[in-house]
Structure 1
Amino acid sequence: MNFSRFLRFLGVVSLVTLVSCDKDFTNVGIDLVGEDHYGLDQTYFDVMAYNQNTGAVQANDMAINSLGYYNNPVFGKTKASIVTQLELAANNPIFYANDITIDSVYMHVPYFATLTDVDETSGDPIYRLDSILPAHQVGTALPKIKLSVYESGYAIQDFDPSSGLQQPQYYYSDQLAEFEGNLANGGQRINTDNTNIDTPATTDFSQNDQFVFRDDEVKILRPSGTVKERLAPGMYLNLNKTFFENKIINAPSGVLLNNNTFRNYFRGLLFKAEAAAGFENQGAMARLNFSRGTITILYKDFSSSTGTEKVRKKMVLNFGPRTINFFETDYVNPISTPDVVNGDQRLYLKGGQGSMAVLNLFNPTDNIGFDANGNQVNTPNGISDELDRLRNPADGKKWLVNEANLVFHIDKDQMQLPSDINGKKAPEPNRILLYDLNNNRPLVDYSADLSTSSSVKNNKFIHGGIISKDSDGRGEFYKIRLTRHIQNLIYNDSTNVRLGLVVTENINNVNRAFLRTPFSFANRINKYIPAMAVVNPLGTILYGGHPNVPENKRIRLQVYYTKPD
């Protein structure tokens, strides 16, 4: 890498913030380890890869939740709804007056946002939202969704009763109907305020039927119209005061004593997202950390049991500890019957309730084996002949593998054919993840890579998987380095495991999520998927390893090696 390129690299890194959510990051790590392999020989090996639908996935207690309705130009429409428990910020609140009335109830869930500037006229901060689909374009109307907030009557369990309370209770992305069938409060919405947040005298529906993910700070006004409080950009809703007066202020004795009794009494809120009228072909979706959400109740009460004059008080409810994300999607993988022998020509990776790919390195032909003395025998041994010959070269001199990569070329034609109503092409995932599917764990190259970035989601950039973009700003390929994995296959006779390929939201999180319906491969049953593949709602289309795919686009294992003297 020359010095000028290195300076450009540092400039890009310095602009990426720690709070960005799946932010574009072009060519990081692609050139950091030299691409000039002087003096090294190069060869390629076959890779068989096919599609696998995930179906419904475990979606409780995720680090990041998706909320909204979004029409992806390539992967179709998805509705993402959320249910969350609530907790008292302070146990056993005491109310003194018998005639307490609530002044206001508001909810705030901050977005992932970056402060970019300050308005010269008003002095207001200017933010960029990093987690909203589609990305907002200056001069275009913000797309809208219909958002409904209900009291949930569904008791979320910590442990599975069918296991005798010995196993955790898991919830899945397709269980929305069960929760909707158990709404409390007569199934009435509690986000019914139709006054404009900034100008209360104006009527609008931006808190419910025409909800907008706004990028400006939230200003809470006094009756005089002056600003009382400023909040970072986030989902802000005025909630029904009568509901909270009945539910909280007039709660039965003992239910506010602690959070165990409170969660059983007030079982949570359901946030349901749908298409807004006029935005059926667009919509918007946010990724956010619901655990940072709060509900603030402002009311007037005596300061003590002997008080005679009411003062303003505040009570806070925190979101959590348990959340569940629900997905309703019309996405259908066009590969309904994957070719598990030759592989598929295209691989469709889609997060959430979507799809992944299964990979097998090396040509599967198995006609030979080797005895204990290293002599070839014409008897299959369950190991690819290509791999066998690397382990047992005819001249007895094994190659020194200096570097091994998988390059996944993006089918740009399919990813760019459709566009949304603003002419924007389908958003692309910033990163994909390759992992040991047999054992549902990271590859050794993942664990060995200690490289870090100013954006933590771009850590382990030598191992890679970060999108590389062409001059048109669209993705061209993803590259994953798996040198140590290949070295272990050749030198340590490690098992040539099947590999899983998914989109990921955060490379640092290695948690896994259950599949509601496990799938089988190579006489094995797989029950899991990386949890960060559930979190990321995006998708991409890659060329596969099928012989009909042009060689310059086909997935192949790229190996740079040195021949011993």
Structure 2
Amino acid sequence: MIYNIRKFFTILSVMVLGGVLVYNCEPEPDSLGEQLFLNGAAEGNETSYDLIAYNIDNNDTIRTDAFKLLSLVSSGSTTSTAVLGAFNEKQFGKQKASYFTQVRLAANNPDFGTDAVVDSVVLVLKPIVSVDSLKTTTDESYVFPNGNVDAKKVVNTYPIKKYGKAKLNGGKLTLQVNEVTEFMNGLNDIVYSNKNFDTNPTALGSKEIKDGSVSSVVITKDSDNTELFTASAPSVRIPLTASVFQTKIIDKKGQPELSDVSNFIRHFKGLKVSVVEEDGYLFQFTPNDMQLIMYYKSDKIENGVKTRPQTTYEFAIKGSNMHSAYYEYDRTNAIINDYANGNTTTGDLKLYAQGMGGNSIGIKFKEEEIAKLKKLYQDDKAAIITAKIRIYTDEATWSTPYAKPTASDFTIVQKDKDANGKETTAFTADYTSLGALFIPVRAYNTDKNPAYYDFTVTQSLKDIVESGAAYNNKYFKIDLAQFAPNSSGTVAGYNYTTRAFSMLRTVFVGSDPSNQNKIQLKVTYGTKK
């Protein structure tokens, strides 16, 4: 019977994939025929086996330099993501995110004209927002301050996509900008999330995000409807101290500090953006969309008449600049300290997964359970059809309003050690076999408590049970992150993920023998009759 079923799978695989799948590759659950077993069209048995699941302590640190923050690729262009904010809760403790960036001149040796004086400077930051929750207000009697021009002002307001206590203090969060006083090195230098570059303690500027929302603005002239000002993307405009830019930029005209990139990034070393509050919410923004704009006036003579029109100068704040994220943690009195013990022998009772350098989850097969499966295979010719690691959110401790992860919010990789003890990392054997067609994770009941998730490890288990591959040094590593796509839309590689800026965290049930929702290996197998 098993022979005929396998033969059917082989024929179907060739039909679907044009011969890409070979005879021994097993299909992804629910994609190439598992339903035949589960719905009674052929015989199959599902049995549960215990696992060793434990917390992997990443020391609350992860690489967060420009390479990791700018590694997402979409439609052939590089995008960027970073996190700001603060969030404190009893399970994981406090997590606070700040952001560093270098600043460059638009071109070397800029000419600001005669008797240039800075009017104002703004740092424009664009959070990721919910575009389907737009609110519009219009002021038909607005007077544009530069020239006292009668105008119309249209403001579109969007809520920021938040993770945490979105309504704490009415959704207020205060952004603060400080000048960096420590050289931040170059674009290709590695930086970790525990690196806090030195800054001038006197803030360059600050801005309160009210109600957790940001706005786009368009101002048009009443007389002819021409645009006087536009900020088409919803953003936060943080006013900075004009005198600092007068001294460090305008007054340095023609001097070595502005002559080339190397001199400038040692003269004006960069900016730090942080939040004042110690609790509230986290949000993501796009560093490549940031702007640093200086408004200034200088002399202009036309037909013998001198005027002082306002001019804008936009610094280069993206691209080849060095960027990094800084994450602070305070685990004092957090419940994670009682359970995240990293017990690789019998497992931890609860599993604490967290992005941005927090814990990962490690999972190992148990020797005695592998022995049972091998005996089934040898004695009863039981062939593994599917194998899934099933993990539940912890109903007792993680009954929260915070969004549960979706299936795409996880990464799973396979870890092995060679004969010399060197650890290697790779995609799971299932992903390697099926590639883009493979769905590694399925999510269930994410709108309920508990939710649960199935991670497919069919081929990895078959390799051990049916082909005799070693398993003592093998384990799986699960993170709350996504695999980043390349320009063609497929996964770029196992080490290209969103871990550096994933705001998610969740408590799962681990290897707890007293809990009916303990993590388990669910194996469906068929036997010859």
Asked if Structure 1 and Structure 2 have the same fold, meaning a TM-score greater than 0.5 normalized by the shorter chain, the answer is yes
Distance 1:233 1:74 in 2: 33
Give matches, 1:380-399, under 5 Å.
384-386=370-372, 388-389=374-375, 393-394=378-379, 397=381, 399=382
Which residue is equivalent to 2:404? 428
1:111-163 C-alpha deviation (Å, 9 max, x unpaired): 22243266577475453533x223757xx86423343211101112239xxxx
Residue identity over aligned pairs, in percent, reads 19
8 A contact 2:58–2:360 mirrored in 1:
yes
1:58 corresponds to which of 51, 54, 63: 63
Give matches, 1:244-393, under 5 Å.
244-251=245-252, 253-275=255-277, 282-302=279-299, 308-320=306-318, 321-331=321-331, 332=334, 333=336, 334-335=338-339, 337-361=341-365, 363-365=366-368, 384-386=370-372, 388-389=374-375, 393=378
Deviation at 1:402, TM superposition (A): 2.5
Which residue is equivalent to 1:172? 192
1:229-262 C-alpha deviation (Å, 9 max, x unpaired): 1332223211111111212112261333343332
Question: Per the alignment, in what secondary structure is the counterpart of residue 413 of structure 1?
Answer: coil
8 A contact 1:112–1:288 mirrored in 2:
yes
* Pair 1:540–1:120, CA change in 2 (3 A): closer
Deviation at 1:100, TM superposition (A): 0.6
Which residue is equivalent to 2:385? 402
Distance 1:284 1:306 in 2: 56
Question: Per the alignment, in what secondary structure is the counterpart of residue 342 of structure 1?
Answer: coil
Q: Is residue 48 of structure 1 aligned with residue 58 of structure 2? A: no
Question: Per the alignment, in what secondary structure is the counterpart of residue 356 of structure 2?
Answer: coil
Q: How many residues align?
A: 440
Which residue is equivalent to 1:502? 479
Q: Is residue 464 of structure 1 aligned with residue 419 of structure 2? A: no
8 A contact 1:144–1:211 mirrored in 2:
yes
1:505-541 C-alpha deviation (Å, 9 max, x unpaired): 456466788xxxxxxxxxxxxxxxx753332232111
Distance 1:155 1:283 in 2: 31
1:9-58 C-alpha deviation (Å, 9 max, x unpaired): xxxxxxxxxxxxxxxxxxxx997786644322222332111122110322
Which residue is equivalent to 2:229? 228
Which residue is equivalent to 1:446? 431
* Pair 1:143–1:129, CA change in 2 (3 A): closer
8 A contact 2:53–2:348 mirrored in 1:
yes
| Bigger fraction of residues in helix | 2
8 A contact 2:133–2:159 mirrored in 1:
no
* Pair 1:269–1:563, CA change in 2 (3 A): same
Distance 2:342 2:136 in 1: 57
Which residue is equivalent to 2:504? 538
Q: Is residue 100 of structure 1 aligned with residue 116 of structure 2? A: yes
Distance 2:173 2:137 in 1: 31
* Pair 1:93–1:491, CA change in 2 (3 A): farther
8 A contact 1:82–1:272 mirrored in 2:
yes
Distance 2:48 2:179 in 1: 58
Distance 1:119 1:352 in 2: 32
8 A contact 1:65–1:535 mirrored in 2:
yes
Which residue is equivalent to 1:239? 240
2:160 corresponds to which of 101, 125, 129: 129
Deviation at 1:67, TM superposition (A): 0.9
* Pair 1:250–1:305, CA change in 2 (3 A): farther
Q: Structure 2: which amino acid aligns with 1:111?
A: P
Distance 2:525 2:107 in 1: 63
Gaps of 5+ in 2: 1-27, 70-80, 139-153, 417-423, 486-490
* Pair 1:350–1:306, CA change in 2 (3 A): farther
Q: Is residue 554 of structure 1 aligned with residue 518 of structure 2? A: yes
Distance 1:441 1:303 in 2: 63
8 A contact 1:433–1:507 mirrored in 2:
no
1:254-313 C-alpha deviation (Å, 9 max, x unpaired): 3333433322222111123232xxxx6x42221222232110112223569999544432
State the TM-score, normalizing by the size of structure 2. Answer: 0.73
Root mean square deviation, CA, Å: 3.5
Question: Per the alignment, in what secondary structure is the counterpart of residue 50 of structure 2?
Answer: strand
* Pair 1:493–1:93, CA change in 2 (3 A): farther
Which residue is equivalent to 1:375? none
Q: Structure 2: which amino acid aligns with 1:115?
A: V
Distance 1:156 1:119 in 2: 40
* Pair 1:501–1:471, CA change in 2 (3 A): closer
Q: Is residue 437 of structure 1 aligned with residue 415 of structure 2? A: yes
State the TM-score, normalizing by the size of structure 1. Answer: 0.69
Deviation at 1:189, TM superposition (A): 1.0
* Pair 1:305–1:486, CA change in 2 (3 A): farther
Q: Structure 2: which amino acid aligns with 1:100?
A: A
Q: Structure 1: which amino acid aligns with 2:215?
A: E
Which residue is equivalent to 1:110? 126
Distance 1:245 1:223 in 2: 30
* Pair 1:341–1:73, CA change in 2 (3 A): closer
1:77 corresponds to which of 80, 87, 94: 94
2:397 corresponds to which of 414, 417, 432: 414
Q: Structure 2: which amino acid aligns with 1:173?
A: S
Distance 1:105 1:32 in 2: 56
1:422-447 C-alpha deviation (Å, 9 max, x unpaired): xxx34433322221133223213335
Give matches, 1:15-34, under 5 Å.
none
